[in-house]
Each structure stands twice: as structure tokens, then as C-alpha cells.
Amino acid sequence: MFLEEKENTAEAKEASGKSGGKPQPRRTAQRRTAPKNANAAKGQEQHQENAGGQKAAAPQKSANTQKPKQVPAKSQKDGKSPAKQPSKASKKDGRGKLKIIPLGGLEQIGMNITAFEYEDSIIVVDCGLAFPGDDMLGIDLVIPDVTYLKQNIDKVKGFVITHGHEDHIGALPYILQQVNVPVYGTKLTIALIEHKLEEHKLLKNTKRKVMKHGQSVNLGCFRVEFVKTNHSIQDASALAIFSPAGIVLHTGDFKIDYTPVFGDPIDLQRFAELGKKGVLALLADSTNATRPGFTMSERTVGKTFDAIFAEHTSKRIIVATFASNVDRVQQIVNTAYKYGRKVVVEGRSMVTVIDIASKLGYINIPEGTLIDIEHLKNYPPESTVLITTGSQGESMAALSRMAASIHKKVSIMPGDVVILSSTPIPGNEKAVANVVNELSMKGAEVICQDTHVSGHACQEDLKLIYSLVHPKFAIPVHGEYRHRVAQKELAEFMGVAKDRAVLVNSGDVVALDENSCEVIDHVVSGGILVDGLGVGDVGNIVLRDRQNLAQNGIIVVVLTLEKHSNQLLAGPDIVSRGFVYVRESEDLLEEAHAIVADAVEDCMERGVSDWGKIKNIIKDSLSDFLWKRMKRSPMILPIIMEV
């Protein structure tokens, strides 16, 4: 089911109407706090004015009645007015405050998801996945734990997505099965999400709405405006979140690019306008907060491509980059067309993204330039360019398979020029180095100098945003701890008070109003492991066993006991996997067999009939022997069969 693209939908009006119909006690609490903060009333009036003329009579009345003389100071002193009670309650449960609850994305690069809650309304910004670490053996993906959203499902109004990268949309097919609410995003973002939903057969059951930059959507008591930004994928957005507590600006992943390959530059004018209205809190991208200077424009990569193509006119060129970087692909296609080369796209995700981007008009490939990989053999190598996935050294990506000589249709030949148009994501450096070594051993020339620019804001870009927005509070997001610390220091340098630049962790509940920003609670957060079709069925215990098996191997001890008398009928037999090479360790295994046989015989003599005790005695005896003899601790698995 697809929602109509209208700025003020009936659903939005209904939501705004609900916002306008808040119970009287909440308005009373607002009047009580008015003497302390006249700006809050002004901000609320501005919020209602910007809501597109929606029904909001009650909140406007509340804002207009917020006068300093409404609550005399004397009544507060003599105890006749309970004016201070709401503030005490708000410290405990955040009542009357905006709650910001990051459920992921703060201790790592990836799995970005943040909930914004005000009374009976929750909106969720992004819903990304993370890729498993080296210690997560056999795990395919990691998705966020949304227990808090499931517990408050009636409050959740929708997912609002900043852009179409996997670390921001990848978990949606899994989470929407648990929290089925509408999804809002820009055109390319929604198209990429729809492709995922179609793969998981969720397309018919999920409401989507395509938003344009500058448009707003009303969700409960929130109004969310999409603001144009630049990133390494088209249609990236910042989100201006208007709430009764004030305006919160979430930048999403962004950079400042004055000369983008496609579309318009970042809407700095809107950032400045929001800054003049008064931004309560800024949640900004921290990925490059440790890097000084400005982030280079995407167009600079195009000049590098041109120089490389001009220098290697007699060689085949293979370019590996991120599948989602449509602008990068466009520049490769433009350069290939300029030098009369045919283009082959290889890698499932690359083919998918380019197909979607072409249909939506986000990439322009000249007619006759793109050829199928099946026809590659019909053209001389020097007249072709391959655009492929695998720039991060992923083992099953196209470039890695080419480097390992296991790709069915492309073989690396001496003289090939391979351009790595990316920088390794933290943790992928070793995998990338291995691919480069394999390519070099096959005689290929690998180029990675000046072939990539980041899609994230560096320090000077962040300073510009802070100078335009002037937030009262700064909450660095999207990055490891060191990245967020660097942005905290930058925010303080740009004038944010030291106690108002706040570092939080995933699961923290941050209560926010005009005067304070503090962590008041903690909710369940973390990662849910996806292994094949299983979601959440692999936990720490299973991972620990897998790591133990990988590091130490396993020994299986098999014996057969008679059903009634508990007499040993067969065995014990010992099977080893991943511990020692059996043919070269026969003496060791014979000794191990003797140790196990003695342990079983001892159990029989002592009349031990409990199988659990027998297994433990076998494990302890064999484990002690192997540690003394080999200084190793394999997993020992006794199996008792009954006849």
C-alpha cells in the first residue's frame, strides 16, 4: 500500500488534531513553567505556525496564555501552588520533555536507529544494520534490538529515513515484521527500501510515502521536515524535527559539496533559517570529526579518473567502488564514454542500485555504452571498463572472486589496471590489503591514490553547520567514541556550553527541554544476530562455542551402555576434528582412549548410573590429560547411546 505524496495528508491532519487535543493538565504544566522560559512559548507558537495550518487550537491557546504574571512568585513561596511538582516529576519520568533514545549507532559505524518520544508519540529516525566483526563466526548481519519500540508499539508513528545506505535502511525488512508502521523517505531512498521489502515479501503490507526536500510530515505531536544535504548517495536528507519542546536538527550522514555531480548543493539557507528560529539540539554526523579541513567535492574524483584513463589507453580498467555511490558510477561512465570504452557492471548490489537509479533518472548512461558481461569477450580488453563491487575486500564480492581466480566470467590478466575508489572502513583494512596483494601477484596495477573522497563532513564543515544553527545542546551521533569526543570538543569550541555538549550511549534515555539535557533512564539496546534465516537464535553462548571450536577443535567420545544393567557394551571411541591430525597422532589418541576407558570403568565400579555425572567425569579426565600433555583445551563432547 503506497501513501499519496501530499504535504498535508488526512493522516497528518488527524495526527495534528490529536496533538491539538492534549488534556488540560498538560497545558497547566506549560503555564507553570512559562515564567522560567518565555522562549519556550515563543518556540511553540512558531511550531504551530509552521505546521501548515493544521488544527491546533488548544496548544495555541496554551502558548498565548503563557504570561509571566500567570503564576505569582508569592504563591510559590507560601506553598499554595504546586508549581514545582511537575518539574520534580519530569526529572524522574521525563514528563513534559522530549526524550531522545538512541537504540544503536553510537559505539560503532553502522546500525543507526534513534527514537524520539514526546508523551504518546514516538518517531524513529533510520533503521540500519551492522556487519559482523571477525569474532562473530558464521553471522551474516547484526540488526538493532527494538524491544523498547515493541513495548510502546501504540506510540510509534513511523520510520523517517535520512538516506539509502545499508547502515540506515538495512534492518527495515526485519524490524517492520515486528513494528509495522509507515516509512517516510526521499524518492531514491524509498525505491531502495522497496527493493528490500520485495525480496522479503513485505511490500504489500508496508505503507511508504515519498517525501521531497522542503516537505514536512506530521506524525503525532511531531512535524518532520526533510532538508537537502549532500552525501555519497543521492537524495540524502537532514531532518528538522519540530516538537512541543523545541526544534531538534538531525543531520543524518552529510558533507558540504558546493559542486555535486547530480542535483543541488546542501540547503545551507534552510539550516540558517532554522538557526534563527532557535534549535534546541543538534545531532550531527561524527564520522570525520577527527579530520581537519574540508571534505573534497565529488567532482575532484572525476578529474583523477580522467587522468588515469588518459594514461592507460591500451589497458583494461577495472574500478571497484561502493554500489550505492551513484555519483561515482556516473563519473566512471562519463569518463569511459569520453575515451570510447564499453562499460560492464558486475556485482549483484551494483547492478540493483544502477538499475533503480537509471529508472528514477539519477544516473544517465549514454545509449550503447553499457554491455552485458556475457558480451565482454567480444571486445578487446583496452576498450572495456568493469565497474564492480568488492572495494572493502568482502570475500564473496566480485573483485575478491576475480583476485582469487574463482570468478566464472572475468580473469585478472597481467597489465590490467584496478582502481580502488574507496577507503577501507575501520576493520576492513586487512581484507583490502589481501585483495591488493592477490591482484598484484597476478600482474595487475592497483591504483588507490586520490581515487576517493569521503561522504562525511570534516571539522571545517561541522564548524559551518554549528555557526549557522547555534544549537543550545549538542549530541554527537554516528561514530565511535573517539569520533563523538572530537565533535563534542568542536561543539564547545563553537560556543556550546561544556555541560550542554552531551555524550550518550546506545540505550540511554535523554530527557530534553529548554533548560536541561540529561540521561534519566536506560532501555534495552544492542545487536540481534542474523544467521541465515534465523534471527536472534544465535546468542553469546553459541558464539562462544563457535569461537572455541575454531580455536581449539573438538573431540567426540562415543560409548554404548546396556539399558537396564548400565553395562558398557561398546566403546569408548574417540573422534577428533580440528584438534590434531589423526594419522600423525595415533599414540596421543591411544593414550586418550585409555584415560577415557579408565574413567568409564571407575564409574561402573562405583555404580554411577547418572549419565550427566558420567559425561562430566569423562570430560574432566580427558581435559586434564590433554592440557598436561598438549597445553590445549578442545571442546569435549561425550555421547552415550543406550541399547
- pLDDT one-digit tens code per residue, 260-288: 999 899 999 999 999 999 999 999 999 99
Q: Which of 321, 641, 214, 282 is closest to 465 using CA atoms?
A: 282
| Cell numbers at 165, concatenated | 545506505
Pinpoint the residues of the chain covered by CATH 3.10.20.580.
Answer: 553-642
In this predicted model, what pLDDT tens digit does every residue of 418-469 receive, in sequence order?
999 998 877 788 889 999 999 999 999 999 989 999 999 999 999 999 999 9
Q: Which one of 168, 250, 456, 483 is the catalytic residue?
A: 456
Q: Is 456 one of the catalytic residues?
A: yes
Question: Mean pLDDT over residues 84-102, rounded?
Answer: 65
Whether 361 and 326 have beta carbons less than 8 Å apart is answered as no
**Residue spans of alpha helices (H) in 119-246:** 147-151, 166-169, 172-175, 187-199
CATH number for the domain whose boundaries are 47-294+455-535: 3.60.15.10
| Cell numbers at 605, concatenated | 565400579
Pinpoint the residues of the chain covered by CATH 3.40.50.10710.
Answer: 299-447
% of the chain surpassing 70 pLDDT: 85
Whole-structure pTM value: 0.77
Whether 326 and 362 have beta carbons less than 8 Å apart is answered as yes
In this predicted model, what pLDDT tens digit does every residue of 173-210 receive, in sequence order?
999 999 999 999 999 999 999 999 999 999 999 999 99
Whether 642 and 563 have beta carbons less than 8 Å apart is answered as yes
CATH topology of domain 553-642: Ubiquitin-like (UB roll) (3.10.20)
Q: What is the pLDDT of residue 93?
A: 62
Angle between helices 348-360 and 187-199 (to 10 degrees): 130
Determine whether domain 299-447 maps to CATH 3.40.50.10710.
yes
pLDDT, mean over the chain:
83
Q: Which one of 126, 267, 285, 461 is the catalytic residue?
A: 285
Q: How many residues are listed for the chain in this entry? A: 643
Q: Using omega within 30 degrees of 0 as the cis cutoff, is the peptide bond preceding 572 cis? A: yes
Q: Does position 618 have pLDDT exceeding 80, yes or no?
A: yes
Angle between helices 24-33 and 38-50 (to 10 degrees): 130
Least confident of 43-52, 108-117, 230-239: 43-52
Q: With left for phi above 0 and alpha for psi between -120 and 50, is residue 480 left, alpha or beta?
A: beta
Q: Which residues contact 532 (CB under 8 A, 6 or more apart)?
A: 140
